Structure formats: C-alpha cells, structure tokens
Amino acid sequence: MPDDFEAPLLALQKRIEELAAFPGDPAKEQEARRLRQELGEKRRTIYAGLTPWQKTQVARHPNRPYTLDYVGALFTDFTELHGDRRFGDDPALVTGFARYKDRAVAVVGHQKGRDTKQKIYRNFGMPKPEGYRKALRVMQLAAKFGRPIIAFVDTPGAYPGLDAEERGQAEAIAFNLREMSRLPTPIIVNVTGEGGSGGALAVAVGDRVNMLEHSIYSVITPEGCAAILWRDAGRAEEAATAMKITAPDLKGFGLVDEIVPEPLGGAHADPDTLFASLDRILEAQLKELSALPADTLVESRYEKFRRMGKLGTEFIEAP
C-alpha cells in the first residue's frame, strides 16, 4: 500500500535494488552507498513529521506485524483455542495460551490477513459476536487459573453486517467490557495498528494500554467521521487531525500508558527491532502488575477507566 509521502523512498529503494544487480562494479557500488545514505536521511525527515493521516496510512500498512507475528516472536508453546461454545469460531480474533519468558499467559488479538484469501478468511480483522465471546471465554479461563492476559489490537472495527447484528454484536461487546473490567488477573493491551471503536475496546480493557508509535486509536475511522460530519469521506485527512487519534495525543489525554517506539520506517520496516522494544515494556509491566493483589488490580483498573471520562475545559470548544 504505497502512500504519496513514501513515493520518494520507494523510488530510491528501487534504484538501489537495480544497482545491486551489478556486483563488482566500483562506480555502481559507490552510487548505491550514496543512495542508501540519502534514503536514510529522507526516511528520517519524513517519519519525524508524519501527519495524523499519514500515521493512519502507516498503521494500515499491509506488511505491518499482526497478532500471529507477535506470537511467533515473543511467545513459546502457543496453543490456539477455537469457538465460543454457542455459534462457532471467528478467525478474525486469535485466542489461546502460551508461555512468555517461561510464564503461562493467555493471548488474544485481531488478525487481518495478508493476501486476498487470508483477508476474506479473517474478515479483514473485523470480529463478529462469536469472536468476542471466544475471546472472553479464553480470558475467563486465564483468570480462573491465574494467567495474565496479553491482548493485541488491530481492527478497523467490529463487523457491521446483518449476521453479526442478528447474533448480538452490541451485546457481545458490552458484555466483554463489563467482564474484562473485573477479571482478577493482569491484563496488558497493545494497540499495534488500528484501534477502531468498540471492535477494539471489547478486548482492550486493561491495566496497561500500550500504543505503537505509528498506530491509531479512535471511536471511528477518519473516513467514517468525515462521512458523518461533512457527508464527504474525502475529508478523512481533516478528520484524522481533528480527532486526535495518534499515540502522543492519547497519551497526553491519559488514555494510554506507554508509547512503544517503532523502527525508522515503521514496524513493518524492521519487525525484530519492534519486537525487542515491546518485549522490554511487556516484561516490566507484567512484573509490576503481578506483584499486586487481585482486588487491588481490579479496583485500580476500574478507577483507571473511570478517569478517562474527565477532560478539562480546554478540550471543550464553545458552539
């Protein structure tokens, strides 16, 4: 999904690849070194000044790591669990148990898919009610056996189709919100791409909420906001700026706890560096939360989300 702001980078990268076809040519090797240096400088300049809309594009990049990538990099002995015991399985949400640094944990996360076949199978990462009920089933099992929960959020939103509504989409989301708020086990949430509306929040009520540097988190997509407010989805860029959906904005509002730094060029440019950064944060947070008694953990989580409704008058504009 090349974006306009990345066009100069892609052109340089293409030229470097062309020069690599001539090994042993001193002139071409020197030119390649010069272009690699120029590419690095341009990338630093561009990514240092990304707009909210550009960050939205980076958050949606098709090569960005998804839940199963994090599972493979950070966890061992992963066993996926399927089905909600009511209707069926939902591949848009991956759930299961694994080990994190030799500690048993539960893992829950959205999975979008890479190619067309996977995207259709995963429903583009948009869960249906059975997905949320499956996730809650696994999280309740985790709480029962004292296992921390680590969630990965990356969805444009819950699936809005007729079949999802018929099976109780809103009720499933609301039920998850209530139940997650009182699970007596540590919950760490990581917004890794798009954190879209209730579709994200239904697995995002955590003791710690982390956001990757170029991820977004909002009540609706910028396109949806623009379509509602101005009857023009083409004003999505304007909406993205107005909505304050980036990690620095949300950390400033107290809605997220930690911003996970991404490698230059975004998470997809160097996943291993990203995994190492997130690993350090998860290890520290899990150690801190595991030291708290269960009742203290639940009460602190409740107070944390209660405080989110309190905004100063500086954020409220007169009509």
CB 202 within 8 A of CB 132: yes
Q: In terms of CATH, what superfamily is 56-315?
A: 2-enoyl-CoA Hydratase; Chain A, domain 1 (3.90.226.10)
CB 43 within 8 A of CB 7: no
Q: CA 122, CA 94: separation in Å to the nearest integer?
A: 10
**182 token code pair:** 């009182």
- Asked if pLDDT for residue 318 goes beyond 70, the answer is no
* Average pLDDT value over all residues in the chain: 91
- Mean pLDDT score, 210-234: 94
Nearby residues of 313 by Cβ (< 8 Å), 6 or more positions away: none
Strands 216-218 and 187-196: parallel
Burial of 293 (0-12, 13-18, 19+ CB in 10 A): exposed
**113 token code pair:** 């898919």
- Asked if pLDDT for residue 28 goes beyond 90, the answer is no
- Asked if pLDDT for residue 38 goes beyond 90, the answer is no
CB 180 within 8 A of CB 297: no
Strands 76-81 and 103-110: unpaired
Q: Three-state SS across the chain?
A: CCCHHHHHHHHHHHHHHHHCCCCCCHHHHHHHHHHHHHHHHHHHHHHHCCCHHHHHHHHCCCCCCCHHHHHHHHCEEEEEECCCCCCCCCCCEEEEEEEECCEEEEEEEECCCCCHHHHHHCHHHCCCHHHHHHHHHHHHHHHHCCCCEEEEEEECCCCCCHHHHHCCHHHHHHHHHHHHCCCCCCEEEEEEEEEEHHHHHCCCCCCEEEEECCCEEECCCHHHHHHHHHCCHHHHHHHHHHHCCEHHHHHHCCCCCEEECCCCCCHHHCHHHHHHHHHHHHHHHHHHHHCCCHHHHHHHHHHHHHHCCCCCHHHCCCC
Q: What sign results for the dihedral spanned by CA atoms 47, 52, 54, 55?
A: positive
* Nearest by Cα to 207 from 186, 190, 192, 191: 186
- Asked if pLDDT for residue 22 goes beyond 80, the answer is no
Q: Residue 49, CB half-sphere, CA atoms under 13 Å: how many?
A: 5
pLDDT digits (tens, 9 = 90+) for 284-317: 999 999 999 999 999 999 999 988 876 554 544 5
pLDDT digits (tens, 9 = 90+) for 155-169: 999 999 999 999 999
pLDDT of residue 312: 52
Predicted confidence band of residue 26 (pLDDT cuts 50, 70, 90): confident
CB 76 within 8 A of CB 98: yes
- Asked if pLDDT for residue 2 goes beyond 70, the answer is no
Domain boundaries, the chain: 4-49, 56-315
Q: CA 203, CA 54: separation in Å to the nearest integer?
A: 26
